[in-house]
Amino acid sequence: MDNYIDKRTKEQFTEDTAIREAINNIYDMLADLPKEKRLAFFEQISKPKDLDFVKEIDSIYYVVCSHFNKEQREDMITKVNRILGTEV
């Protein structure tokens, strides 16, 4: 395990290197997959609901899982686009 200082909170934390290695292995596996298989992988693990969606911005894919107040006037896609600064 490695100790670090959080730059934002200035608190010390310990990173479990086994978890970091597992994450790095997943990154490596995904990097070797073609685009279509990466998208299929994320669709499979995210199990999106009807209101969830995948958004591509500058060749980066974001999986958006939603939960929101149905009483709001702004729909989810409009809100996400506004937050990301990609309003259409």
Task: End-to-end CA distance of the chain: give it in Å, rounded.
Answer: 46
- Please give the pLDDT value at position 34: 93
Extents of the domains making up the chain = 1-32, 34-88
Judged against a pLDDT cut of 70, whether residue 47 lies above it is answered with no
What is the three-state SS of the chain?
CEEEECCCCCCEEEECHHHHHHHHHHHHHHHHCCHHHHHHHHHHHHCCCCCCEEEEECCEEEEECCCCCCCCCCCHHHHHHHHHCCCC
Q: Residue 49 — very low, low, confident or very high, per pLDDT cuts 50/70/90?
A: low
**pTM score:** 0.37
pLDDT of amino acid 65: 75
| For residue 23, pLDDT beyond 90 | no
